[in-house]
Amino acid sequence: MSLNCSFTRLKRELSQAISILSDKDDIFEIITTFFNAGKTKNLAPLSAIQLNDARFSSYSDIPPLDLKDYATTIALQQLRFVSISDYEFEINNARVDIFDNCAVATFNVRQKGMVVDNYSFRGQHFTMGSRGTFVLIKSQKWKIVHLHLSRISD
């Protein structure tokens, strides 16, 4: 094998590696954006990072625990995040595996805050650990097509 051929192959492999690292950074940003909606109360990004498609699905770590479609998921996520004050989260053990235009992101998330009842103006502190799996596809940008959050017993 010639030196020129080896150099060309290394250049191509380096380019692919940089692309994969960039994709992983984009996916980690999507995970952070999802939970940041609870801190910032800016809910618009929730719709932007999830695929509005009949094939979208989700399971949540809080009731209702059934399988949900896109519209129901967005509505419940918005309700969840606006109902929590002093919200904080920490993501640990994050891993992203990419398969062409599909990716699986797994992580643990610790969330805490105060759930506020706007009718009685009472709040209840909570701390919750969950496991998360996001399945994403990429056409122009990465978008979540399925998410599954499972509460971890304390």
Domain with 46 in it: what CATH number? 3.10.450.50
CA dist., res. 16 & res. 1, Å (int): 21
Dihedrals phi, psi of 76, to nearest 5 degrees: -70, -35
| DSSP tag of 98 | E
Distance CA 146, CA 68 (A): 10
The pTM (predicted TM-score) of the whole model is 0.85
Confidence at residue 103, expressed as pLDDT on a 0 to 100 scale:
98
Structure tokens at 109: 């998330």
Domain extent at residue 71: 3-152
- Residue 20 burial (CB count, 10 A): 13
**Total domain count, the chain:** 1
- Cβ pair 59, 150 in contact under 8 A: yes
The C-alpha atoms of residue 35 and residue 52 are separated, in whole angstroms, by 19
Q: What angle do CA 53, 59, 60 make, to 5 degrees?
A: 120
Tens place of pLDDT per residue across the chain (154 aa): 565 666 565 556 555 555 656 999 999 999 999 999 999 999 999 999 999 999 999 999 999 999 999 999 999 999 999 999 999 999 999 999 999 999 999 999 999 999 987 676 778 999 999 999 999 999 899 999 999 999 997 6
